[in-house]
Amino acid sequence: MEHMYLTRGNKKYLIPGMRVRTFGLPAERAADGTVTCPGAGLCKQGCYAKQGHYVCPNVKAKNAERFRLAQSPEFFSTIFGEIQKLKLDLVRIHDSGDFYSRPYLMSWIGIAAACRHTKFLAYSKMVPMIKDVQSLIPENLTIVLSEGGRWDHMIDQAHDKFARVFPSVAALKRAGFTDCHKSDLPALRPEVKKIGLIYHGWKSRYFVTAPKEDA
C-alpha cells in the first residue's frame, strides 16, 4: 500500500458519497519541543487528542511523522500531490494539533488556494493569527475559531464563526448553536456561525466554556 500522510480519521469523517481525509499533528508539543497548540488554554485540562486512540503508538508515530513533513520543504508538494491523486472532496486539518506558526498556516492557505475543488476545514485557537490573515484565506478553506484557548476574548460572537464545547446536545440546542458533534459538514456553510460540539473525553477532566446555565 502506498504511504500517505492524509488518512481516513475517525468515523466522523466516513461521509457517504465524499472522499475525506484528515491531517493531524502531535497534541500540545512535538518531540523536538515545538509547541503545536500555542493557543491552548482551558482545553489542556481534558484534551481529547491526548486520550483514546491518539495515545496508541502507531497514531503518535504518524502524527510525529506529519509534523516532520510540515517543517520540511516538501510539505506543500506532498500534500498537494496526495489531494490531487485521491481527488478529495474534503480535508479536515488538525484532528489534533493547531496552526503552530504563521509560515505553517500560510502553507495550508497556499495548498487550499491551489486545490479549489477541495474543501478544507480546521478548528483553531490561534485567534489573532487567523484574524491577521483573514483576507488571504480562500473561500474553500473554513477555519472555525475555537473557544477554550488563550484568546477567547478576541472572538466576536456576533460575527465570527466559532465553536463551543457542550456536555450534551440538549445544552447545545438551548444555547442556539448548530449541532456539529456527529458531522462537521454544517460548519462548512457560510451562514452557520455558532458551532456546537460535544465533549467525549475523560469525564473526570471534562471542561466546557459555555455559560454555566447551559451545562
pLDDT, residue 47, reads: 56
pLDDT, residue 51, reads: 47
What single-letter DSSP state applies at residue 132?
Answer: H
pLDDT, residue 29, reads: 86
Closest listed residue to residue 29, CA positions, set 51, 7, 5, 49: 49
How far apart CA 193 and CA 211 sit, in angstroms, is 18
The length of the chain is 215
What single-letter DSSP state applies at residue 87?
Answer: T
Which element (helix H / strand E) includes 212?
none
pLDDT, residue 59, reads: 77
Q: Cα 95 to the chain's mean position, in Å?
A: 5
Q: Cα 121 to the chain's mean position, in Å?
A: 7
Mean pLDDT of the chain: 87
Give 68's pLDDT tier (boundaries 50, 70, 90): very high
Higher pLDDT, 51 or 187: 187
Q: Helix, strand or coil for residue 181? A: coil
Write out pLDDT tens, residues 2-59. 689 999 877 788 888 999 999 999 988 888 999 998 887 766 555 554 444 555 557 7
- Other Cβ atoms less than 10 A from the Cβ of 53: the count is 10
**pLDDT (mean) for 149-154:** 94
For residue 31, give the C-alpha cell.
Answer: 518531540
Q: What residues form DSSP beta bridges with 154?
A: none
- Which distant-in-sequence residues (6+ apart) come within 8 Å of 170 by Cβ? none
